[in-house]
Amino acid sequence: MTDERVIELTQIRKQYLLGSIAVEVLKGIDLSVSRGEFLAIMGQSGSGKSTLMNIIGLLDRPDTGTYLLEGAEVGTQDDDRRSYYRNQMIGFIFQNFNLLPRMSAVRNVQLPLLYRPMIDKDRHSSALAALEMVGLSHRGTHLPTQLSGGERQRVAIARALVGKPTVILADEPTGNLDSATGEEIMGLLTDLVKQGQTLIMVTHDQELANLADRIIRIKDGMLVNNEQL
């Protein structure tokens, strides 16, 4: 991990309308993430952590505040530019894997590359290389239904890695896995961090959070604790 800031959030605020009532979900979040850092985000349901992750992942935009990603202000960009930054710089790992059931593992991994100017052969070779990184190159032709839960999550990790993102966002990455498989997946993720990957993980599990370099806690839309491990 270096002191180079990859993400800088300053006074991020977000509210939603519930009928005619405005509910402020984020109330002035300040947060920096360094290159190669493993950051865990914790908080109860409704605390605002999912909204924060959606803003970091460029799936939502803040009402006010600034969001710098690799020094570029991305929070206020239009949808096309945000999609571009999301595709080029952010990899996603979801609790439910989010694999397309009728596509093979290698085709699922290729999906982020469809929006890049590459020929099919290069997409395929990049996807195979990403599967090899997670130990699944021999399962590339298999459908998700032919894979175990741990294998499906490895495919999802390969998909997140294939575009060589600046940041990987992991939302409860072991939530649908048994404990032994979850340990394997966390071992893979921590190995990626050791290799220089920046990782931000949302989790309810204190043991998983303790694997991170730093834990932040969100309560009622505010950052209430910032714990260096």
3-state DSSP call for residue 203? coil
Sorting pLDDT into bands at 50, 70 and 90, what band is 3?
A: low
pLDDT at 229: 67
CATH number of the domain that residue 213 is part of = 3.40.50.300
Note the pLDDT tens digit of each residue in 69-123.
999 999 989 999 999 999 999 999 988 899 999 999 999 999 999 888 888 899 9
Note the pLDDT tens digit of each residue in 6-18.
999 999 999 998 8
pLDDT at 46: 87
Find all residues with CB under 8 Å of 147, minimum gap 6, and list them.
105, 139, 155
Specify if 193 maps to a domain. yes
Report the alpha-carbon distance of residue 181 to residue 174 in Å, rounded.
8
pLDDT at 120: 87
Is the pLDDT assigned to residue 1 strictly greater than 70? no
Report the alpha-carbon distance of residue 92 to residue 115 in Å, rounded.
16
Specify if 203 maps to a domain. yes
> What is the DSSP annotation of 82-134?
HHHHHHHHEEEE-TT----TTS-HHHHHHGGGGGSS--HHHHHHHHHHHHHHT
Specify if 71 maps to a domain. no
Of 61, 56, 45, 46, nearest to 7 (Cα)? Answer: 56
Name residue 194's amino acid: K
Specify if 166 maps to a domain. yes
Structural domain count of the chain: 1
Specify if 7 maps to a domain. no
Note the pLDDT tens digit of each residue in 168-185.
999 999 988 999 999 999
Specify if 66 maps to a domain. no
Find all residues with CB under 8 Å of 183, minimum gap 6, and list them.
none
Q: What is the mean pLDDT of residues 57-71?
A: 95
pLDDT at 19: 85
Specify if 32 maps to a domain. no
DSSP code, position 139? G
Q: Which residues form the domain of 114?
A: 37-61+78-228
